[in-house]
């Protein structure tokens, strides 16, 4: 019996260093398949910008694979039903894909696919594409396993396949999918990924460490590979082996470190790492009331009265990208100043981040909200961030034009302007630009009092030890049973971890 293979593409939209494509070379006939799933389109994390980026990457990949003799079929529907329909014209016996660590709906989908394959006798082979380890029993030795994977040679993909006698489908449009139009992506696809990497290594990365934190300089000075890693238009191993920048490998490793958390405990997408934090904030066992909605709306719309927060949110909404420090500030402000639960704010940010990577995103949402139980509470002052990283107010004025006439010395704190100065600046606080939605010091003190009191409890300390043993890094090299218990409660948010949120994920 002839072996017929389907390469099921998901977040691996490339040809180079692609294990599933290489594995399909054993088939007598093969094709590639991408399924636009209604569950994805309807998921609360999905934005039309994500779909447009995917369609652009697929258009390029379809041409690349066609030149190698492999048709790329694109279908819309639930995956098991799409498989059934496809088998009527191509009775495939083998299915190849990468191991995906995604939102909850993908876990349910994969269980349904596994059952479908068992019932029909289709052999499904899932292959790793990052350093995330499936069915990991212990974090001990994980970093060494990651290093071995990244140092291994790239997988060689055939120059020619024995393609199935099936024509590649046309690609649907956003309108076909019932989605609103967005600006077409300018840097999607595998060629763009390599151009971005080459440009970073050739010059843009020279001021990398210096530019990381600035919302102005980071847009050009950071690698800008995060969306390419999220959609798989370049492999992490390729990036790891191409770069020569000091410290960058650590950022790639931390990418997988955070995704591993979701792989090991999928529930962290919905519930706190530290269950002692349950019921702290509205939306998490506490009613989501009118005040919580008012605060959320102001944060979402960039109308909090804190210029750096509002500029960052408006910039993100317009561009789909923001550097790490400003992302962390947005989450910190929502979680501590506004006392909002990380799940609704996280869903909004997931839709805005073009580089949304579920494992990084939900781990970081909790880390920046103080619900991991093991990380230092990092509460960012919006005013200090503005003074440190936008001292002239250039970024703020770009995105909050209401403040264009405000003197540079007060653009981070426009509420301090006397009434006469407000008139001269053409910006009356409370009319042209909102007054601060909360009082900074008061809100922060209330948040700290609640969280530090909670962390002092015996229950919290015991739970922190268990969380550290399951999810914590092994920087010391000692197994968890020999590390001091105090390490489980020590700050683990290193500069590398913090840089990760911007650099290689959402």
Interatomic CA distance for residues 132 and 101, integer angstroms: 9
Place of tokens 């990468």: 98
pLDDT score at 186 = 86
Place of tokens 């980071």: 218
Place of tokens 């989450």: 331
- Cβ-in-10-Å burial (0-12, 13-18, 19+) of 487 comes to middle
DSSP string, 159-178: S---B-S-PPPPPPPTTTTT
Percent of the chain scoring above 90 in pLDDT: 79
Taking residues 224-243, report their average pLDDT. Answer: 94
Give per-residue pLDDT as tens, 277-307.
999 999 888 899 999 999 999 999 999 999 9
Taking residues 327-343, report their average pLDDT. Answer: 97
Contact 187, 94 (CB under 8 A): no
Tokens of 122: 């289709």
What is the Cα 230 distance to its own chain's centre?
7
- 99-103 CB contacts, 8 Å cutoff, 24+ apart: 99/126, 99/127, 99/128, 99/129, 99/132, 99/134, 100/10, 100/11, 101/132, 101/259, 101/262, 101/263, 101/358, 101/359, 102/11, 102/358, 103/43, 103/45, 103/269, 103/358
Taking residues 94-117, report their average pLDDT. Answer: 97
Contact 129, 232 (CB under 8 A): yes
Please report which confidence band the pLDDT of residue 169 belongs to, taking 50, 70 and 90 as the band edges.
confident
Taking residues 446-462, report their average pLDDT. Answer: 93
pLDDT score at 483 = 36
- Residue ranges and CATH numbers for the domains of the chain are 4-129 (3.40.50.620), 267-462 (1.10.579.10)
Percent of the chain scoring above 70 in pLDDT: 92
pTM: 0.91
Give per-residue pLDDT as tens, 313-327.
999 999 999 999 999
What is the Cα 224 distance to its own chain's centre?
13
pLDDT score at 1 = 64
- Bridge partners (DSSP) of residue 96 are 7, 125
């Amino acid at each position: 019996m002839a072996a017929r293979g389907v390469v099921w593409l998901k977040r691996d939209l490339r040809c180079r260093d692609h294990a599933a494509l290489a594995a399909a070379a054993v088939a007598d006939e093969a094709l590639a398949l991408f399924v636009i799933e209604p569950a994805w389109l309807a998921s609360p994390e999905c934005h039309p910008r994500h779909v447009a980026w995917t369609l652009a990457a697929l258009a390029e990949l379809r041409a690349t694979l066609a030149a190698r003799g492999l048709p790329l079929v694109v279908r819309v529907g639930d995956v098991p039903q799409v498989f059934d329909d496809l088998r009527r014209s191509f009775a495939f016996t083998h299915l190849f894909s990468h191991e995906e660590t995604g939102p909850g709906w993908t876990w349910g989908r994969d269980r349904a696919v596994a059952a479908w394959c068992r019932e029909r006798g289709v052999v499904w082979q899932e292959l790793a594409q990052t350093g995330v380890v499936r069915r990991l029993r212990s974090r001990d030795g994980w970093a060494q396993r990651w290093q071995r994977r990244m140092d291994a040679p790239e997988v060689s993909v055939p120059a020619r396949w024995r393609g199935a006698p099936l024509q590649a489908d046309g690609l649907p449009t956003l309108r076909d999918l019932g989605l609103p139009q967005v600006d077409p992506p300018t840097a999607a696809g595998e060629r763009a990924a390599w151009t971005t990497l080459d440009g970073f290594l050739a010059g843009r990365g020279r001021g990398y460490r210096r530019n990381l934190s600035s919302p102005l300089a980071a847009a050009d000075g950071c690698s800008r590979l995060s969306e390419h890693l999220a959609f798989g238009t370049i492999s992490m191993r390729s990036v790891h082996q191409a770069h020569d920048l000091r410290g960058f490998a650590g950022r790639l490793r931390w990418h997988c470190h955070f995704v591993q958390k979701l792989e090991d405990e999928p529930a962290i997408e919905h519930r706190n790492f530290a269950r002692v934090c349950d019921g702290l904030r509205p939306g998490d066992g506490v009613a989501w009331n009118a005040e919580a909605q008012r605060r959320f709306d102001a944060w979402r719309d960039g109308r909090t009265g804190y210029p750096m927060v509002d500029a960052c949110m408006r910039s993100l909404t317009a561009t789909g990208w923001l550097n790490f420090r400003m992302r962390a500030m947005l989450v910190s402000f929502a979680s501590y100043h506004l006392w909002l639960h990380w799940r609704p704010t996280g869903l909004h940010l997931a839709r805005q981040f073009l580089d949304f990577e579920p494992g990084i995103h939900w781990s970081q949402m909790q880390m920046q909200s103080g619900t991991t139980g093991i990380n230092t509470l990092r509460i960012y002052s919006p005013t200090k961030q503005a003074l440190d990283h936008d001292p002239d107010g250039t970024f703020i004025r770009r995105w909050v034009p209401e403040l264009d006439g405000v003197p540079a010395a007060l653009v981070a704190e426009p509420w301090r302007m006397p009434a006469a100065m407000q008139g001269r600046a053409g910006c009356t606080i409370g009319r042209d630009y909102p007054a601060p939605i909360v009082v900074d010091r008061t809100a922060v003190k209330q948040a700290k009092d609640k969280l530090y009191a909670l962390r002092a409890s015996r229950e919290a300390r015991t739970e922190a030890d268990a969380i550290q043993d399951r999810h914590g890094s092994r920087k010391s090299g000692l197994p968890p049973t020999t590390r001091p218990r105090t390490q489980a409660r020590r700050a683990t948010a290193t500069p590398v971890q913090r840089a990760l949120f911007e650099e290689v994920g959402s």
